[in-house]
Structure 1
């Protein structure tokens, strides 16, 4: 990812820089000075928009969460009323998101959760929101599809989702060309095990 454009508003440049650096290097390892240099802003500009680094971390995760919600919502609209397509939309959205933001180092929220352990941290609600969105929506879609055990199906799909992101991180560690695992196919097989057999299917 490149340096944030000098033409963008200062808050946007700060968030662009924070997103790149926090995701590339980790939150604790990224100092405010590095964000300021990448964003080409003065310290006073940062503190005019954010009370401190913790709130910048929260804004970074909020922005990433909102982008993910919009991407998944779009995939659900494309899926229409097909229960199987709606259950698998999370994997379609994950592929769509790769074209919008870097996901080569795994899940930004799980990585941040390791560093943001204090529930009083301003970023903590966004870590909770990410997990609640995934678990709640997957379960709701499983219920709508008629799964015999919606909780089990949602948990299995979440494991595949997390595994897909972890697989990207592993592939990023090697320069060798590797074939991405057929996560959507694995997910479709999981769904098939949980849904009732319909006549003619």
Structure 2
């Protein structure tokens, strides 16, 4: 018995099973194989706004600088070169957050957060600026696909999945957040002193956030 499974950040879609031996001429099996091997990669759920280099494209991007492992485009057609993957979550569902170190055409580095956010929490990211040791939000917005915001409801419409009456379905929007500056991972610290200084900076940032959000509290110990 053959099932097809489609995973997105909201849940999974599973097709009805069929017997690959009893189907007339195994036409359904051939259709399934064709659907996986012949279509444009975008129809398999791959993000067309981002490219990660792999063994198959080595030597084909001669115009890329040393150390570049891919690139990503925003809705304004700006191209950011991906220098490193800083962190990524695991699993098929929920936010699916990936954080990249990216560089613009002028050579300035940023942190780019790519994630799938619940529709009700699209605007929950903080927009405060100029807090000591806290990154600034430079830009944010939905990732657009074929002229409209990319979301799991849009994906499922193509497969005849109407989720409006499904209370268990949680629509998630594909979002990008551009942050500055881009810090160094803990794994790259060269001494205990640097690690301790990082925690000290956390405390300073936390103190500044408390004073900003609750001015009437006064200084906190």
- Bigger CA radius of gyration: 2
Return the structure number with greater strand share.
Answer: 2
Larger relative contact order (Cα-Cα within 8 Å, sequence gap ≥ 6): 1
Q: Please indicate the TM-score interval, normalised by the length of the shorter structure.
A: under 0.3
Return the structure number with greater helix share.
Answer: 1
TM-score, scaled to structure 1: 0.26
